[in-house]
Amino acid sequence: MHRLSALTDLLQHLLKWLLLAFVVAVLAGTASAGFLFALEWATATRLAHAWLIWLLPVAGFAVGWLYLRYGSSVEGGANLLIDEIHDPKKIIPLRMAPLVLGATVISHLFGASVGREGTAVQMGGALADQLTRMFRLNNEDRRIILMAGISAGFASVFGTPLAGAIFGLEVLAIGRLRYEAMLPCLAAAVIADQVGLLWGVQHTHYAVPLIPALSAWTLSAMVIAGVLFGVTGKLFAQATHGLSGLMKRKIAYAPLRPLIGGLAVAVAVWLLGTDKYIGLGIPTIVDALKEPLPAWDFLGKMAFTIVSLGTGFKGGEVTPLFFIGATLGNALGPLLHQPVALLAAIGFVAVFAGAANTPIASTLMAMELFGAEIGVYAAIACVVAYLFSGHAGIYRAQRGGHAKRSAHQDLEP
């Protein structure tokens, strides 16, 4: 009788979370699809009308004013979601979703260097949290449904369900996973990805034509590259947070911060005579997997993204980190005597692993995007990057679950 009761409880638990994950996935997958279509339109429009970059300061002011007027309670973005998972207090306002959607599309339309994962994660989390009130979920269930929303948003915007599932678990605390949320996160990620595909979303196809056999040198090269990728991710996070803090201290009126940032980006585009460092930069990422690129491209993207995000434009950090990592890997390929495409692909995920402190999700992403054969190389580089990136990443609300190294030997944040 006891066994039957235990089995019944497990089946009820399974059914409950599959149903909740399904609802979360449909909401997040649909929102991500609409967002990706809007982003595609914004990018095409900007490329067709190069003069729009000169309106970026005005767009920045508009984004800042929107959040000052209507979004003060959701200004924390993805960090607010993480905080609510750690310490549940208030339901995430639904307006987080349309606000971040509109602000991100505006940022991309006029030429800011921002990403898209932050937007998808915020939409997924905000929409998922509305179910808390609807189904009267307790705090523990609310934590899980927020994590499922994060996983669904990440998976559907990149087309990587396994990475999305683990990202929702891994991003909360360094070195610690909440396994009780694994089923909801996995179900939400897989279904959300399929929902996006049903809406007609087409994700970028990346290819690594040659993955060399394992050898002492190829493995050593991954370790060396991983160190550089980790340090790069750390510098990116520190510089972005540092500029953001400086702008808040020096400029009290929030809309002026992205106005100044937009002016700086527009002038830099004009001075350099290229727009390759603004927007998502996916064409350059694809090129990095095919042919040698200028060695300074990763620095250009870093600078433009730090200014854009640090002054208040909305979007995300992850796709710019993909660009930074891919172009840095592209430059390291000849130096480490490795195929350019291989190092670009490894950099694509490893800089992200270091900056976000998510080595497992990043390794899975490499395998989903580039094929399972790259798994060992990606795992080595991502773990080393994670180790060398310190304890301060792009998500300030991320907590320290366990030290990255043994006691008294931790890297400084």
What's the distance, CA 411 to chain centroid? Answer: 23
Distance CA 342, CA 336 (A): 11
* pLDDT tier at 413, thresholds 50, 70, 90: very low
Q: What is the pLDDT of residue 98?
A: 98
Averaged over 291-296, what is the pLDDT? Answer: 97
**pLDDT for position 406:** 64
Report pLDDT digits (tens) over 207-260.
Answer: 999 899 999 999 999 999 999 999 999 999 999 999 999 999 999 999 999 999
Task: Provide the β-strand partners of residue 399.
Answer: 173
Q: Provide the pLDDT for residue 407.
A: 53
Average pLDDT on 12-33 reads 97
Max Cα-Cα span within the chain? 77
Mean pLDDT value of segment 268-285? 98
Closest to 33 in 3D by CA, of 205, 191, 199, 148: 199
Angle at 151 between CA 206 and CA 34, to 5 degrees: 70
**C-alpha 409, offset from chain centre:** 29
> 408 pLDDT band (50/70/90 cuts)?
very low
pLDDT of residue 1: 66
User: Is residue 171 a contact partner of residue 358, using CB atoms and an 8 Å limit?
Assistant: yes
| 137-147: b (≥16 Cβ within 10 Å) or e | beeebbbbbbb
Alpha carbons 394 and 74: distance in angstroms, whole number: 17
Q: Which helix (H) or strand (E) holds 395?
A: none
Read off the pLDDT of residues 104-123 as tens digits, 9 standing for 90 and up: 999 999 999 999 999 999 99
For 45, half-sphere exposure in the C-beta direction (CA atoms, 13 angstrom radius) is 15
Element (H, E) at 28: helix 2-48
pLDDT at 410 over 50: no
The identity of residue 195, as a single letter, is: V
Q: Give the residue with greater pLDDT, 276 vs 406.
A: 276
Of the listed ranges 92-96, 273-277, 389-393, 409-413, the one predicted with least confidence? 409-413
Q: Is the pLDDT of residue 411 over 70?
A: no
Please choose, from the candidates 138, 136, 148, the residue with its C-alpha nearest in 3D space to the C-alpha of residue 183: 148
Q: What is the DSSP string of 229-280?
A: HHHHHHHHHHHHHHHHHHHHHH--STTHHHHHHHHHHHHHHHHHT--TTSS-
**How far is it, in rounded angstroms, from Cα 153 to Cα 120?**
5
Percent of the chain topping pLDDT 90 = 92
**Selection from 174, 131, 170, 173 nearest residue 149 by Cα:** 131
Q: How confident is the model at residue 3 (pLDDT cuts 50, 70, 90)?
A: confident
Percent of the chain with pLDDT strictly greater than 70? 97
Q: Find the mean pLDDT for residues 169-191.
A: 95
Helices (H), 111-158: 117-135, 139-158
Mean pLDDT, range 157-168, rounded to an integer: 98
pLDDT tens for each residue of 67-118: 999 999 999 999 999 999 999 999 999 999 999 999 999 999 999 999 999 9
Q: Which residues contact 130 (CB under 8 A, 6 or more apart)?
A: 91, 94
How long a stretch of residues is the chain? 413
String of DSSP letters for 284-325: HHHHHTTS---TTHHHHHHHHHHHHHHTT--S-SHHHHHHHH
List, in order of start, the domains of the chain with CATH numbers: 2-198 (1.10.3080.10), 216-400 (1.10.3080.10)
Q: Are 105 and 115 in contact (CB under 8 A)?
A: no
Tokens 């399904």: give the residue.
22
Q: In whole angstroms, how far apart are CA 350 and each of 189, 295, 337, 364?
A: 21, 18, 18, 11
Tokens 């585009």 label which residue? 269
